[in-house]
Chains A and B, each alone.
Chain A
């Protein structure tokens, strides 16, 4: 019994110990909150790997962990780190131990990496630093632990104010590319500088220690659109790049490319070519062959392309589910691999029977009128890939609008109080979604599931094949859009006098005056002053008119010429002023007659 307890204790201890010290791979994607990333990293265990999937992460990380960890971007060009606080560096080392930073593009921030104090070796490898001319890529203060080293290998430094600002000697700078900078190295030069590709005739860049001058065109795409907000380029090396085989691997003998896409642990995924994919014909018929073409990838390591296609959207799949070759093969067994740099492929057109969808059903409860609109909803029907909504008022020509794949739609711009007949039709369109990715050669020591091709592009190319098959229209529902009112339906104290005189707020004569207010008075200062005065004193006049109903016809008679003048204004400005002049003269004449009559009566009495 005692022995059994001892054994149980040992097992429990081992179980707990394995839980405590197990290294983890933690995945961050565009769906991960920044606060969660910071928290996960701060709670890291030894040998943890934090994998960042393609996205732009705006963050500031302070690393003061004593654990050996790796922060890794899986797709260098498209895994972007930038600062969310312009005064703070993106990554700051503060009393941290061995940390590896690899596979990121550091973009447009004050400082990318600041190393205040490191207690063990740091490795910064296979990154792109494109910070802008005012900014610093890497800054190193003098550490108390001077014996510890910092290795800056296989990075591409492009368009930086200062590439490396260092006050320590235990730094290895090798296999990097430096181009378009103001200052190559600031302060005391870092320790060992070898096998870099440098755009400079500085003393430091002479061809000793394997450093090489960078000449000519070197990168796949350095002419990206300047207006592009991301301002990120494709730094894969082209065929004749002067940086090919400039670097050395760890054995100091084997040649490797300089820059972010060289060395032993670079991101092997070249750029996807999906966004340049075209089909000829652009909309093939069923059974018709089609030719797909795309732009050639200039990366000198690319050996071919893989064309993925599916009836379902590929880009909606989670990137984690497709991050190795075996997962991709299982998901897309029909993917086509092309060899060589020929960027086209002929595909036989599918010849399948496209099922006719069932007609949708509209119920009165799901057709809701609104102000100048009707909102419809319906249940999805079998075999439908999209829907269209048809509406018509009386004998007018029916209008059809595309509701895409939604099962609800709002018809806008309708006329209130007019009866419309609405119906829905389902359509079945045969479509394929395509992704074309670039592929590089697999190294001998790579595992079967290692991915040697691009990550999928964020958008698929969708190709419609043949014409859509449509259902019969649904049942038709008659509905009448109308103006929404609040409860209780209270009056808007608009044209008080006119409302009082004409009896109700929505009479057509009152509407004419209201439109005149909105279009001709509220659009200028004198008009606004008039409206303000009218709104102040108008209600008193209106209350008098309401109290003495005998006044209503008199006010109406007085208002009619004004309404006529306002209506004329819509046709001719001159006519408006003529009518207004006549109206004012008549009004003055009437008022004069009344005053004279009153005066006479008073004098007589």
Chain B
């Protein structure tokens, strides 16, 4: 805990000591495109789908409610192909594609104290509606969705100082005020409760951990 607080303190110190120039146009909207490696928490995921993590792409839009608080919505999508199995014999059989589409409503606390702060630590979380779609070759597909929640923490790195001319151009052409490269770790929890044909109850954790990176652009 102490170590965590130390690191967090250092990050804050760096953030505060950044060159701070008050911006004339305060951005209100953020648009984000990201790619992530999603690591499901299902115990047999790797042996069924062949890899521990699956690629997921997504995007989000958020509104800056307060200087340090954004509220937004994100949509992500990923799919992985693997083998099906036969419940009675437990043998692998057939081809299955598992699609996931988590939709999130989130609040984000961004520790940003000036508009031109180079490094912005952030943390947040919110509600997740975790939709899934499973196709089994030659059989009916399964689709549904389940409620869940998520928590996230990350760092945003301001890209504007790297190329001032490009920044001005982006601003003039598209109204984009700041752009950030960000890295994030996210945890999601979404449990499906099922009862099989024999009346046995089971719980499946659809959530997992995401290691995410992307580009975020702020607009006025």
A interface residues (Cβ-Cβ under 8 A, vs B) = 368-371, 417, 480, 482-493, 503-507
Contact = CB atoms under 8 A, between A and B. Distances in A.
Nearest to B202: A489
Nearest to A504: B195
A503 B204 CA distance: 18
24 contacts: A369-B91, A370-B94, A371-B93, A482-B87, A483-B87, A484-B86, A484-B96, A485-B136, A486-B84, A486-B96, A486-B134, A486-B142, A487-B84, A487-B85, A488-B192, A488-B206, A489-B202, A489-B204, A490-B132, A490-B144, A492-B141, A493-B143, A504-B195, A507-B197
B143 A483 contact: no
Given A371-B139, A488-B42, A490-B134, A482 B88 contact: yes
A491 B143 CA distance: 7
Contacts of A483: 86-87, 139
A484 B139 contact: yes
A510 to B, nearest CB: 10
Contacts of B202: 489
A480 B89 CA distance: 8
A504 B196 contact: yes
B195 A503 contact: yes
B141 A491 contact: no
Interface string B131-165: 01010101111111100000000000000000000
A505 B132 CA distance: 17
Given A370-B93, A484-B94, A504-B195, A490 B204 contact: yes
A487 B82 contact: yes
Interface of B: 42, 44-45, 48, 82, 84-89, 91, 93-94, 96, 98, 132, 134, 136, 138-145, 192, 194-197, 199, 202, 204, 206
Interface centre among A368, A369, A484, A490 (most CB of B within 10 A): A484
B132 A370 contact: no
B140 A492 contact: yes
A487 B42 contact: yes
A489 B87 contact: yes
Contacts of B144: 490-493
Contacts of B87: 482-483, 485, 489
A503 B199 CA distance: 8
A486 to B, nearest CB: 4
Contacts of A482: 86-89
Nearest to B201: A504
A487 B48 contact: yes
A504 B200 CA distance: 10
B194 A490 contact: yes
Contact of B194 (A371, A487, A491): A491
B48 A490 contact: no
A489 B86 CA distance: 11
Given A480-B88, A492-B142, 5 more contacts: A371-B93, A486-B84, A487-B82, A488-B42, A491-B142
Contact of A488 (B86, B139, B145, B204): B204
Contacts of B138: 371
Nearest to A417: B88
Contacts of B206: 488, 490
A480 B93 CA distance: 13
Contact of A370 (B82, B86, B96, B143): B86
Nearest to B134: A486
B132 to A, nearest CB: 6
B196 A487 contact: no
B82 to A, nearest CB: 7
Contact of A485 (B45, B85, B143): B85
A409 to B, nearest CB: 16
B139 to A, nearest CB: 6
A369 B142 contact: no
Contacts of B143: 492-493
A275 B161 CA distance: 78
B88 A486 contact: no
A489 B196 contact: yes
A564 to B, nearest CB: 23
Nearest to B138: A371
Contact of A490 (B139, B140, B192): B192
